[in-house]
Amino acid sequence: MTARLVCLPFGGAGASFFRPWSALAGDRLEVVPVQLPGRERQIDLDPYTDVHEAVDGLLPGLLAELGPDPRVVLFGHSLGAVLAYEFAHRLLAVPGVELLRLVVSGSPAPGVRRELTATGLADDDEFLARVKQIAGYTHEALDDPEMRELILPTLRADVEMHESYVPSTEEPLAAPVTAVRGADDALVSADEAAGWAKVTGRDFELVEVPGGHMYLTDSAPVLLDLIDSTVH
Q: Which domain holds residue 47?
A: 3-231
Angle value at C-alpha 22, between 38 and 92, nearest 5 degrees:
70
CA distance 117 to 150: 22
The CA-to-CA distance between both ends of the chain, in Å, stands at 12
- In degrees and rounded to multiples of 5, residue 188 shows phi and psi of -125, 115
Q: What is the mean pLDDT of residues 11-29?
A: 93
Which candidate, 154, 155, 153, 120, places its Cα nearest to that of 135?
A: 155
**Lowest pLDDT segment from 81-90, 116-125, 157-166, 196-205:** 116-125
Q: Spot the catalytic one: 16, 168, 213, 232.
A: 213
213 included as an active-site residue: yes
| Band of residue 62 on the pLDDT scale cut at 50, 70, 90 | very high
Residue 136: the pLDDT is 63
Q: Rounded to 5 degrees, what angle do the CA atoms 160, 176, 217 make? A: 50
Distance CA 84, CA 10 (A): 11
Catalytic, 78? Answer yes
133-173 pLDDT, tens digit each: 777 666 677 777 787 888 888 888 998 899 899 999 999 99
Q: Which range is least confidently modeled, 72-86, 94-108, 213-227?
A: 213-227
**pLDDT at 67 (0 to 100):** 93
Instruction: Mean pLDDT check: name the lowest of 71-75, 85-89, 162-166, 203-207.
Output: 162-166
Q: What is the CATH number of the domain that holds 18?
A: 3.40.50.1820
Reported pTM? 0.93
Return the HEC string of 32-97: EECCCCCCHHHCCCCCCCCHHHHHHHHHHHHHHHHCCCCEEEEEEECHHHHHHHHHHHHHHCCCCC
Total tally of structural domains belonging to the chain:
1
The pair phi, psi for residue 33, each rounded to 5°, is -75, 140
Given 16, 52, 78, 168, which residue is catalytic?
Answer: 78
